[in-house]
Amino acid sequence: MELKNNVVGWFEIPVHDMERAVRFYETVFDVKLQREKMDSLDMAWFPWIETGMGAGGSLVYAPEFYKPSDSGVLVYFTAQSGDLINELSRVEAAGGKIHKKKTLIKEDIGYMAVVMDTEGNMIALHSR
């Protein structure tokens, strides 16, 4: 079967404190998240474009359903600056911790780094 869309369609990152998490992600990625409350869910959506590669996603506060974790799925964020060292340089000032510094994966794949956000989630950064 030939793929017509990316396999991943959406992601959600659980948070303990939505205000703190929004500040962290807006600071590190230099973007504005859109806050939405839907019934019992409190969400903050990352900006996304319909035609680009990758998937859209959000932060989500729903303690009865989601719990932040440093040992679950690892979401890779594309460094919009083109070099993840720029986003990585803002992690600690935003309250996060660098777990794995910028590391070459392979020449044809690029670089990655792993950080812990303010909520206790591990996330990765990627750039060519």
**Average confidence (pLDDT) per 10 residues, the chain, 128 residues:** 74 96 97 93 90 82 92 92 97 98 96 98 95
- Confidence at residue 85, expressed as pLDDT on a 0 to 100 scale: 98
- Confidence at residue 122, expressed as pLDDT on a 0 to 100 scale: 97
- Confidence at residue 72, expressed as pLDDT on a 0 to 100 scale: 86
**Strand, helix or coil at 4?**
coil
What domains lie within the chain, and their CATH numbers? Answer: 10-127 (3.10.180.10)
- Confidence at residue 52, expressed as pLDDT on a 0 to 100 scale: 67
- Confidence at residue 95, expressed as pLDDT on a 0 to 100 scale: 98
Largest CA distance in the chain: 46
Report the alpha-carbon distance of residue 74 to residue 114 in Å, rounded.
Answer: 9
**Strand, helix or coil at 78?**
strand
- Confidence at residue 55, expressed as pLDDT on a 0 to 100 scale: 82
